[in-house]
Amino acid sequence: MFKRTCLAVVVMIAATGAQAQTAPWMNTALSPDQRADLIVAELTRAEKLVLVHGYFGDDVIINPHYPPPPDAIRKALPRAAGYIPGIPRLGIPAQLETDASLGVSNQRHMRPGDTATALPATLLTASSWNPQLAFQVGSVVGQETRDKGFNILLNGGVDLARDPRNGRNFEYAGEDPLLAGSVVGEAIRGAQSRHIISTAKHYAVNDQEIGRDWLSSNLGEKAMRESDLLAFEIAIEKGAPGSIMCAYNRVNGVYSCESDFLLNKVLKGDWGYPGYVMSDWGGVHSTTRAALAGLDQESAFEFDRDDYFGAALNAALDGPDGAALQARLDNMVHRILRSLFAAGLFDDPPVAGASDVEAHGAVAQAAAEEGIVLLKNARGLLPLMAGAKRIAVIGGHADIGVLSGGGSAQVMPVGNAPEQEILVGGAAQDASGKSRIPREKMIYDPPSPLAAIKAEALGKVVFDDGSDLAHAAATARGADVAIVFVERWQREGIDTPDITLPGNQDALIAAVAKANKRVIVVLETGNPVAMPWLENVGAVLEAWYPGNRGATAIARILFGKVNPSGRLPITFPQSLEQLPRPVVPGRDLRQPDNRWTPNETLFDVDYSLEGADIGYKWFAAKKLTPLFPFGHGLSYTTFAFSGLSVSGSEVSFDVRNTGKRAGKAVGQVYAATPVAGERLVAFGKVELKPGETKHITLTLDPRLLASFDVAAQMWRVAAGDYAFRLGASAAETSATATVHLEASTIKP
């Protein structure tokens, strides 16, 4: 036995040695950059062009001017969101890209019958305030990416929630750069731990969907560095994503994918990012400009107006900018290959096979159980006693599943069945008379909340679909407790005009609350919503889009098997009037059919109104009281925070469980600098038994105590007194400390 093992080892070493001789870049002792250099030296110009030019992986070729990709590519299953051919003679693998904000996506059933674990929405993972959990979620998505034979994941949405109507907020991690950057960074690190490339997107300030191809996000550099860019900076530091996706929108008038400031200066220069920048699908608008500004790869060229990094780049290489473009082309392929090596795509290529959906479901459930937020719980209505004799479950399609978000992130969940798909769209019209919502399906993730509640309850559980208010009220009247499920569907490409629950849902809750004193509302939404009925209901649970095990998590929280520990990553406003922009900019402009429409459709969004003061910072600056503040979330136990102390780069405090149940507390430390308002500077989640006290020490990131000095191009900590505040949310104070800091600077 021993001999045989030795022989096998010798054979392996010999094979590796031979491979290293013919393919020296396969020597794992070399750095990714050294390995990339070796292989780039072997590439012909034509091969380099292959690597920077992506195809759409779907069969739908939307640009009539270009032929579909060659047959070889079409056969390269699994069908992907994007495809870049490999170079077989050098062993360079094809790049097979899939979307995966919430699990490996399969929008429009591109791969019929192919399902994946639907993880909770990123907004929910952010609500856990637990970056370690985000790592686990990321590694599940990474593993399923491998299992399906993809090697590049288009996840990592870290745009900040400037607007609670943004159709993609569910794909992002809320309004705060520290929280969002930490959560998304860990999700990226988790995904890449499975030896695939993970992406951070959409760089940058892609903060609304309406007119995303035509709008310019306008704000000054200082504010941008302290908000949207800081979220990316933190996520990139923590996650080291192999790729960054530049966004559709322009920033201060320049397309993100041809912004020298965003790509060359900030990302690759100041932050020293070594990976590559891929475009969003249809986000390229030029060849030489984009290439010289720092774009490394054109994704799915069929979505662009021209074949910018294909035939056009080939021609430009022989033109007046040829020398600069040649240097860029070498650097583009170096960056791409470097990321392929760094993530392990050469050394440990994915092998398609079945996913362990049971184990992955357990992670999905753990995430949902930590991220669902208990917003209100009057007179201890929750947790429910298993013995309640009659429970009415009403509305929200609670008999089929939990809602998921739509667009490129759409996952076809494990257990998907036709009755869990509801056709929507074609209804809302814009000024041109066209539908704003394409006809597509809302997908509900099984199991159903009704089934999950039945599994927990000892008494009778009845269901009413909520379509008839009088009937629903009668159902509620006859029950010990009524659980009303309400929902708001969001999808990529569309922002909602308001924060109101659609249809008759507000009226439904009001009618049920009149009929029964014990009403629990469960929200399945991709954003904050207004709650005109809040005073009349006993409890409210924000479940966001909780994924494949979401219903189980909801039921276990309702019945007290799980003590809720989610905290809001986004402020719930009382009304639209409290927002910097009560109307979504561009809402009333004609929305053209495709992104190639010329200049007259361009418009500006003025983000300098709030600048870096997004969400709770805006509410504090304007002295507005939200419906629920950032960081808010209740537990079935109570916690006491005390003893805040700041020393050097550390902040510490005590947290004690003062209630009767074990639970998880989230300590949130905010600080006001001498020159600016409060921001979250540290947070930590900790589990405590009843009566237990723990001492928490957290590290402070000095950038969060600083302002960005644009003239000096560095972070500057002002000399003066810094007011630290410890609390259970942005609006609660448990302890304070004032610390004098001397002036200092930090290089970006």
Out of 54, 63, 86, 99, the residue judged to bind ligand BGC by CB under 6 A: 99
The whole-angstrom separation of Cα 118 and Cα 329 is: 38
What is the three-class DSSP state of 277?
strand
Window 408-437: residues binding ligand BGC (CB under 6 A): 408
List phi, psi (to 5°) of 216: -115, 125
Find how far residue 560's CA is from the centre of its chain.
Answer: 28
Out of 35, 48, 111, 201, the residue judged to bind ligand BGC by CB under 6 A: 201
Q: Which is nearer to ligand BGC, 81 or 646 (CB)?
A: 81
Q: Which is nearer to ligand BGC, 365 or 408 (CB)?
A: 408
Query: By C-alpha distance, which of 397, 444, 452 is closest to 416?
Result: 444
Q: Which is nearer to ligand BGC, 246 or 472 (CB)?
A: 246
The CB-of-263 to ligand BGC minimum distance in angstroms stands at 17
The whole-angstrom separation of Cα 216 and Cα 237 is: 27
Q: Which is nearer to ligand BGC, 122 or 314 (CB)?
A: 122
The whole-angstrom separation of Cα 668 and Cα 305 is: 47
Question: Binding of ligand BGC at residue 187 (CB under 6 A)?
Answer: no
The CB-of-660 to ligand BGC minimum distance in angstroms stands at 45
| Angle value at C-alpha 277, between 272 and 279, nearest 5 degrees | 155
The CB-of-105 to ligand BGC minimum distance in angstroms stands at 8
Q: How many residues bind ligand BGC (CB under 6 A)?
A: 7
The whole-angstrom separation of Cα 431 and Cα 586 is: 11
- Helix intervals (H) in 31-93: 32-40, 45-51, 71-74
Find how far residue 337's CA is from the centre of its chain.
Answer: 26
Query: By C-alpha distance, which of 422, 397, 411, 410 is closest to 361?
Result: 411
The DSSP string of 298-319 is B--GGGSSS-TTTHHHHHHTTS
The CB-of-398 to ligand BGC minimum distance in angstroms stands at 30
The CB-of-69 to ligand BGC minimum distance in angstroms stands at 16
Query: By C-alpha distance, which of 686, 736, 680, 744 is closest to 226?
Result: 680
| Residues 234 and 178 sit within 8 Å (Cβ to Cβ) | yes
Q: Which is nearer to ligand BGC, 58 or 464 (CB)?
A: 58
The whole-angstrom separation of Cα 694 and Cα 197 is: 38
The CB-of-201 to ligand BGC minimum distance in angstroms stands at 6
Q: Which is nearer to ligand BGC, 171 or 464 (CB)?
A: 171
Structure token digits, residue 204: 């940058």
The CB-of-663 to ligand BGC minimum distance in angstroms stands at 36
Q: Which is nearer to ligand BGC, 302 or 456 (CB)?
A: 302
The CB-of-408 to ligand BGC minimum distance in angstroms stands at 4
Window 71-90: residues binding ligand BGC (CB under 6 A): 81
- Tell me the pairing of strands 707-709 and 276-279: unpaired
The whole-angstrom separation of Cα 295 and Cα 256 is: 9
155-184 b/e (C-beta count within 10 Å ≥ 16 → b): bbbbbbbbbbbbbbbbbbbbbbbbbbbbbb
Residue holding tokens 């960005």? 708
The CB-of-417 to ligand BGC minimum distance in angstroms stands at 25
Query: Is 88 buried (19+), middle (13-18) or exposed (0-12) by CB count in 10 A?
Result: exposed
| Angle value at C-alpha 370, between 367 and 372, nearest 5 degrees | 100
The CB-of-599 to ligand BGC minimum distance in angstroms stands at 22
The CB-of-573 to ligand BGC minimum distance in angstroms stands at 26
The CB-of-411 to ligand BGC minimum distance in angstroms stands at 13
Q: Which is nearer to ligand BGC, 160 or 665 (CB)?
A: 160
The CB-of-236 to ligand BGC minimum distance in angstroms stands at 17
Q: Which is nearer to ligand BGC, 92 or 154 (CB)?
A: 154
List phi, psi (to 5°) of 283: -95, 5
The CB-of-81 to ligand BGC minimum distance in angstroms stands at 4
DSSP classification of residue 705: G
Window 278-317: residues binding ligand BGC (CB under 6 A): 280-281
Question: Binding of ligand BGC at residue 95 (CB under 6 A)?
Answer: no
Question: Binding of ligand BGC at residue 154 (CB under 6 A)?
Answer: yes
3 state SS for 473-512: HHHHHCCCEEEEEEEECCECCECCCCCCCCCCHHHHHHHH
The CB-of-156 to ligand BGC minimum distance in angstroms stands at 10
Q: Which is nearer to ligand BGC, 137 or 558 (CB)?
A: 137
Fill in the amino acid letter for 164. Answer: P
Q: Which is nearer to ligand BGC, 99 or 147 (CB)?
A: 99
The CB-of-155 to ligand BGC minimum distance in angstroms stands at 8
Fill in the amino acid letter for 670. Answer: Y
The whole-angstrom separation of Cα 13 and Cα 45 is: 33
Q: Which is nearer to ligand BGC, 343 or 398 (CB)?
A: 343
Q: Which is nearer to ligand BGC, 154 or 728 (CB)?
A: 154
Q: Which is nearer to ligand BGC, 69 or 446 (CB)?
A: 69
- Tell me the pairing of strands 95-99 and 152-154: parallel
Q: Which is nearer to ligand BGC, 201 or 225 (CB)?
A: 201
Q: Which is nearer to ligand BGC, 408 or 668 (CB)?
A: 408
3-state helix, strand, coil in the chain (%, to 5): 30, 25, 45
Fill in the amino acid letter for 296. Answer: D
Binding residues vs ligand BGC (CB under 6 A): 81, 99, 154, 201, 280-281, 408
